[in-house]
Structure 1
Amino acid sequence: MTDRYTHLVNTGFTATLAKRLGLPQPAILRRFSAGDPLVPGPVLVLGPDTHDGSDSDAVAQHLLGLDLDVHRSPSTGTARWGAVVLVLTEIERVEDLSEHVLAAGSVLKQTARGARVVTLVREPQPDDAPALAAARQAVDGFTRSLAKELRGGATANGLVLAGGAAAGGEGVLAPLRWFLSARSAFVDGQLLTVGPADVPAQDDARPLEGRVAVVTGAARGIGAAIARTLARDGAAVVCVDVPAAGEHLAKVANEVRGTALQLDITADDAGERIVAHARARHGRLDVVVHNAGITRDKLLANMDAARWDSVLAVNTAAQLRINDVLLASDLFRDAPRIVSLASTSGIAGNRGQTNYGASKAGVIGMVRATSPLLADVGGTANAVAPGFIETEMTARIPFATREVARRLNSLQQGGQPVDVAEAVAFLGSPGAGAVSGQVLRVCGQNLVGA
């Protein structure tokens, strides 16, 4: 669905009028287009650089290797900054932040539209000295707050390095590149924890080349966008949906040159049928995206068993049963990826959605518990939690309610299905091998929830 307001306030006379009247002017977001540069301008890398081989130097050297125009200090007369990277992994006191965050602040008025700010910090540990713990946790609050100040479609996100993860390792650098890229357009104010896993270098243009991915609920909407994005990134895609959606399912499968599997995921043998199809048609299975889901909204006082049970059955229980089959299968052993669709309703709750909120919170608990079960084979399990996304479902929301919901995030607009698909594709890629058990919100920094 098109957000006509956003387009009106960014074009011609209506843009001028909106500015004079002081109306919100959400920016047209910088989304991925093949051939576009990773960053729309010079990159400023800030952080302690007091010794050879510092983390900030490692990050700067990597970005230089991508043929980016990298600077280590603010300068006058430069083109508008495309990105600012704050490498704060070596800070020890809150006083250490001042120099670097104020240097970043000094260039924010000279950033390009759709610019990116990314922070890197070490994860606080239980045995940290209080001063060190305070400094590390401070970066969290700084990053989320800065995201709410940025304009022009710019975003701020962060990477939290856990367990000795190396700032110069691909496990950190691949997520950094994703946050800097146009693929993360509707991800804002989010902190993603990155572990110490050994991650191979990947081709960001075709990171899923040679991989086989299954997408449930693929016939339309977000599921179809996920199938298209995975195929764009090189995956052979198995598109799964209920028989009633067979015509739409076949159309999507043909479009992405994949295969279609008509299947009710709540069936007892759904997992076995998915594995058997992947084995017979593709000979392998690498990525499973649990996208299929339903809503049956009612206030709890008016909720009946059919509404409650059906939502939990589709949104949570079916995923658990399919995952049990995947974990036992010899086909799911080569650095596999499980990506589940959660929701901000599962994080912050939503009136009239006790069943849906419970089911999506259950998904979050599921991926956290599944993550260690995949570690021995280099696998990961993560969740993507969309906020307000422009779909057929949100198009049915009454106009006034829909307009308010669109504006209740830092980017002041709804996301597109492709925004969710980009996050899923990233978490399904080899480069996300150090990210597991995480929930990545795709919500434009929705003003509810953490």
Structure 2
Amino acid sequence: MTDRYASFVQSGAGRALVKRLGLPDPPRLRRHRPGDPLLPGPALLGAATGGRLAEPVGTLLAAAGIELRDPAAGTDATERFGALVYDATGITDSTGLRQLYDFFHPAARSVTPSGRVVVLGTPPAECDTPREATAQRALEGLTRSIGKEFGRGVTAQLVYVTADGDAGTNTSLEATLRFLLSGRSAYVSGQVIRIGAGTATAPADWDRPLAGQVVLVTGAARGIGAALARVLARDGAQVVALDIPAAGDALAGVANEIGGSAVQLDLTGPDAPTRLADHLAARQGRVDVVVHNAGITRDKTLGRMDADRWDQVIDVNLASQERINDELLARELIPAGGRIVSVSSIAGIAGNRGQTNYATSKAGVIGLVDSLAPALRGRGISVNAVAPGFIETRLTARIPLVIREAGRRMNSMAQGGLPVDVAETIGWLSWPASGAVSGNVVRVCGQSLLGA
């Protein structure tokens, strides 16, 4: 689906009109292309007094080929930065928050278009004192505001990193920074990501972080699911693409394109979990990553909705995920180091008129993450979700024009996202290196105003 307004804005006449009338100005986003550097310019790396992460992060970034600048050494006023990275773990009370201003104020106008801002903190629940927890919670307001202020495709994120870390924590911190600083995170902004302790394995090649992994993608025939299959295969995964029999031709096309395998199966069938588990056991022997992407909408206001519409959406979008997880986990087909990633929606966070069934199912997916993540931590299996906002698909193309335009513009990027944006985020959560990232719900919405 083409965003004609965004295309017009990129023209000379369009830019002049946008500036004159103060209209939304969708930037051209930097998206990942294999072989691209992580950043288009150097990173300015700063730290609060007593910060515990600046040194290891500096080592990680330098090893990733990023040029680093130290604000204490002074910088050229004309220099532009691909990223601002700040270690705020040393801030232990509200007076220390002034250090944020001292770092970001002089650098705020020096970030390149589609640059990145990442703030590192300590989870408030792990802080030693109420004052420290208060100061660390304040970081969320900073990063979300930066995401709305800086514009030009610049994203801003807060990453809480446990102080009780291990080698897995450091590996997952590197994986997270590689995702957030790169073009893979083009439509992710204003997010809070939590990294705990856990098992994580760095890849031999960061360009193929899923090499050797068997990944199941449901709803893979088209849209976000097809983009998922392509991105995961690009990153080295052996993809098992699943969809309903009615989508068999499209599914086969995707599987053939990526060199994966196709499974035609209705996930709501009473024997679907057993049939799927039998297939994976016989063909692959295991499944390292399960991506629950299959989903449907059956929209009506609650007072006009028949029971079938309610039941179908809950069954496909939520209950089928639970049944599949139960079967695969019971048969130990998801090994230690495995990943479960579910697709939720901002509708599950903010609600949506005419979608009580859909919003209920997608909020349930968040509940699934909240409950399963701690339960599976001991087995070394991570559980996360992504919550897409307005993504340009055949489904959003059917939305009435005025509502569609509002969905596109009501975010910090002033545009809709692409299926690849959701796929890249799920890809990162699927990496073996992301094992200490668990229990997160990451919005892929361009920092939408809905639910903010």
Q: How high is the TM-score relative to the length of structure 1? A: 0.96
Residue identity in the other structure for 1:300: L
**Distance (whole Å) between structure 2 residues aligned to residue 371 and residue 408 of structure 1:** 31
Question: Are 1:188 and 2:186 matched, yes or no?
Answer: no
Segment drifting more, 161-170 vs 71-80: 161-170
- Is 2:55 the partner of 1:57? yes
Corresponding residue for residue 138 of structure 1: 138
In structure 2, what is the equivalent of residue 37 of structure 1?
A: 37
User: Aligned partners of 1:127 and 1:404: how far apart in 2?
Assistant: 40
- Contact map agreement 1:382 1:438 (CA 8 A) in 2: yes
Task: State which drifts further: 169-178 or 276-285.
Answer: 276-285
Q: Secondary structure at the match of 2:160?
A: strand
Tell me the SS of whatever aligns to 1:109: coil
CA distance in 1, matches of 2:266, 2:298: 18
Give the match for residue 25 of structure 1. 25
The equivalent position to 1:286 in structure 2, one of 259, 284, 288, is 288
Mapped to 2, the partners of 1:26 and 1:366 lie a distance apart of 35
Deviation for aligned residue 1:302: 0.7
Letter in 1 for 2:60: H
Residues 229, 425 of structure 1: 8 Å contact kept: yes
Deviates more, 1:194-203 or 1:388-397: 194-203
Matches within 5 A, 1:202-221: 202=203, 203-221=205-223
- String of CA shifts for 1:325-359, please: whole Å, max 9, x gaps: 11112321131111111000001100111100000
Q: Find the aligned partners of 2:226 and 2:142 in 1 and give their Cα distance.
A: 36
* C-alpha distance in 1 between matches for 2:92 and 2:446: 31
Aligned partner of 2:379: which letter? Answer: V
> Which is worse superposed, 319-328 or 280-289?
280-289
Q: After TM superposition, give the deviation of residue 126 of structure 1 in Å.
A: 7.1
Aligned to 1:155: 155
Once residues 126 and 253 of structure 1 are traced to their aligned partners in structure 2, the CA distance between those partners, rounded to angstroms, is 45
Q: Give the length in aligned residue pairs.
A: 448
Equivalent-residue separation in structure 1 for 2:202 and 2:49 (angstroms): 25
The separation in 2 between residues aligned to 1:414 and 1:427, in whole angstroms, is: 22
Tell whether 2:176 aligns with 1:175. Answer: yes
> Percent of aligned positions with the same letter in both sequences?
51
- The answer for the alignment partner of 1:46 in structure 2 is 46
* CA distance in structure 1 between the aligned counterparts of 2:400 and 2:389, rounded to whole angstroms: 17
Task: Give the equivalent residue in structure 2 for 1:197.
Answer: 198
Whole-angstrom distance in 2 between the partners of 1:372 and 1:100: 33
Q: How far apart, in 2, do the equivalents of 1:274 and 1:101 lie? A: 54
Equivalences for residues 402-421 of structure 1 within 5 A: 402-421=404-423
What letter matches 2:131 in structure 1? A
Which moves more between the two structures, 297-306 or 73-82?
73-82
Higher mean Cα deviation, 23-32 or 197-206?
197-206
Amino acid at match of 2:62: L
Aligned residue for 1:261, secondary structure, equals strand
One-letter amino acid of the counterpart of residue 273, structure 1: R
- Work out the CA distance in 2 between the residues paired with 1:384 and 1:141: 21
CA distance, structure 2, for counterparts of residue 334 and residue 256 of structure 1: 26
The Cα shift of 1:127 comes to: 7.0
**Distance (whole Å) between structure 1 residues aligned to residue 148 and residue 80 of structure 2:** 20
SS class of match (1:125): helix
Q: Residue in 2 aligned with 1:222?
A: 224
Residues 297-346 of structure 1, C-alpha deviations (whole Å, 9 max, x = no match): 11111111011111001111111100001111232113111111100000
Name the counterpart of 1:383: 385
Q: Secondary structure at the match of 1:427?
A: helix
2:301 maps to amino acid: L
CA contact (8 A) 1:41 1:79 kept: no
Please tell me the residue identity of whatever aligns with 1:61: T
Instruction: Tell me if 1:364 matches 2:366.
Output: yes
Residue 198 of structure 1: CA displacement? 3.6
**Which secondary structure state, in structure 2, belongs to the residue aligned with residue 370 of structure 1?**
helix
Preserved CA contact (<8 Å) 2:49 2:91: no
1:49 positional shift:
5.3
Q: Could you say if the C-alpha distance between residues 166 and 80 of structure 1 is closer, same or farther in structure 2, counting changes exceeding 3 Å?
A: farther
Identify the residue that residue 247 of structure 2 maps to in structure 1: 245
Displacement of 1:14 in angstroms is 2.0
Distance 1:135 1:350 in 2: 33
Q: Distance in 2 between matches of 1:101 and 1:228?
A: 42
Secondary structure, aligned partner of 2:104: helix
Aligned equivalent of 1:66 = 64
CA offset at residue 50 of structure 1? 5.2
User: 2:6 maps to which residue?
Assistant: 6
Per the alignment, do residues 56 and 78 of structure 1 end up closer, same or farther by CA in structure 2, a change over 3 Å counting?
farther
Q: Is the 8 A contact 2:339 2:383 kept in 1?
A: yes
Indicate the residue corresponding to 1:321 in structure 2: 323
| 1:128 shift after superposition | 4.0
Query: 1:12 and 1:184, CA in 2 relative to 1: closer, same or farther beyond 3 A?
Result: same
CA distance in 2, matches of 1:364, 1:99: 35
Aligned to 1:258: 260
Match of 1:82?
82
- State the alpha-carbon separation in 2 of the partners of residues 429 and 272 from structure 1: 26
Deviations 1:257-279 (A, max 9, x none): 10110000111222222222223
Say which SS state the counterpart of residue 148 (structure 1) adopts. helix
Indicate the residue corresponding to 2:309 in structure 1. Answer: 307
Question: For 1:199 and 1:278, how far apart are their aligned partners in 2?
Answer: 24
Gap regions ≥5 residues in structure 2? none
Deviation, 1:78, is 5.2
**Residues 163 and 59 from structure 1, CA distance in 2 versus in 1: closer, same or farther, beyond 3 angstroms?**
closer
1:208 match: secondary structure = coil
Map of 2:269 onto structure 1: 267
- Letter of the aligned partner of 2:396 in structure 1? T
Determine if contact 2:171/2:434 at 8 Å carries over to the other structure: no
Cα distance in 1, alignment partners of residues 126 and 211 from structure 2: 40
CA contact (8 A) 2:166 2:198 kept: no
Paired residues of 1:384 and 1:441 also in contact (CA < 8 A): yes
